[in-house]
Amino acid sequence: MPLNIPQTNQKKVIIIGAGFGGLQVAQSLAGNEDFQVVLIDKNNYHQFQPLFYQVATAGLEPSAISFPLRLAFHNYSNIHVRVASVTKIISEKNLIETDLGELSYDFLIMAIGADTNFFGNKNIQEKALPMKSVGEALGLRNRLLENFESALVSDNEDERVGLLNVVVVGGGPTGVEVSGTLAEMKRHVLPKDYPELNFDLMQIYIVESGAELLGPMSKNAQVKSKEYLEQLGVNVMLGSRVSDFDGQYAYFNDGSKIRTNNLVWAAGVKANSIEGINPEIMARGGRMKVNRYNQIEGYDNIFALGDVAYMTEEKFPNGHPQVAQPAIQQGKLLAKNLINLIRGNNLKEFTYRDLGSMATVGRNLAVVDLPFWRFQGFFAWLTWMFVHLMAIVGVKNKLLIFINWLWNYVTYDQSLRLIIRAKSPKS
């Protein structure tokens, strides 16, 4: 039997992707006897993307922001988790193809998220350091720590500068948070780990092609985030664009270059895709056009959520922001609408409720834009921590992260700077 899913009379819902949207639908339908839910993901865990940067900068272990999918559904017999890659959708037969076999569906939900957008630059794609998964965040941590070790034993100052310098491309929340954390490590942690190194040589740059950091946020948040980063010693480069990277130099569109072996790419995302969906319904960034019920244009029983869904509203004529909240809210409503569908009830249109946005820059420094209040500084930092702590899946993970954050705050030291490599093949 394909993927060993038991045959029942329930309506079969296949969810591709266990991110915020996919997990929300599965949780909302868990225990509902009308549905058999198959949750498919390449990993057997849910990843909390907003804290990838803390894994990358040795603030948290990967396990602290990852939650086993099977653990989430221990008590629900109608939820089936499968670790697989979906390779094709055959919509005319209501089938999906995976690397484990075929599977039929009554309803298909695509919650496959987004990946790093390198805008067609092959050199940057091959040599830069992206951060769109726990694995990539761990890879970034390894690279930075390995380069610090190499700088320690290098007797060439130019090489040492390249190993120490970090260029972060992208002035959104991820870029701002990575830059601020690295600046604090340079100030408080790295000189203790590597007392033989002169960290005055180390420069941290954040490069943004626009005129401001944190483009979608308020003017106050943009100004304050820049001010905070500069206080921490970060070189803020606005109106600049990295055009190429050869592993030793970051090249800019104005002809200038910066010596660095470390280019962190946080400059944009593009929606993931699976063969079988009509390419004519693709919108900007590879997102799929959906109606207000999250139905993909041209399909009655295939839906898209979150980063891959291009849904327009009066307040969001260019689609919703590609962050967690739209995916979570769409997931909750879609679960209710699936119940309405099989019961013959009217469907409810989705309306995005913007809960605000926020970014942390460093210790005691953050910016928060709520619908009714905008503020910065220490209280914003506490707010950022509370919101992210509450959003983490799993009580154990919440506790681990709280302990880590408390320890970091008291000691100025993350103490998780481990270089973890896969075992090298024997020569």
Judge whether 177 counts as a catalytic residue.
yes
Structure tokens that stand for 45 in this block: 């865990």
Instruction: Please name the residues in contact with 155: beta carbons below 8 A apart, sequence gap of 6 or more.
Output: none
Q: Please identify which of the residues 61, 97, 136, 177 carries the catalytic annotation.
A: 177
Task: Give dist(CA 189, CA 258) in Å, integer.
Answer: 24
- Backbone angle region of 306, left / alpha / beta, with phi > 0 → left and psi within -120 to 50 → alpha: left
Token match 């019961």: residue? 343
Task: Give dist(CA 221, CA 157) in Å, integer.
Answer: 38
DSSP letter at 312 equals -
Task: Give dist(CA 187, CA 191) in Å, integer.
Answer: 7
Structure tokens that stand for 105 in this block: 């569906």
Structure tokens that stand for 83 in this block: 């670790």
Q: Which helix (H) or strand (E) holds 368?
A: strand 365-370
Token match 């004529």: residue? 317
DSSP letter at 30 equals T
105 touches 95 (CB < 8 A): yes
265 touches 257 (CB < 8 A): no
Q: Provide the Cα torsion 104, 108, 111, 116; round to 10°.
A: 60
Active site (catalytic) residues: 177
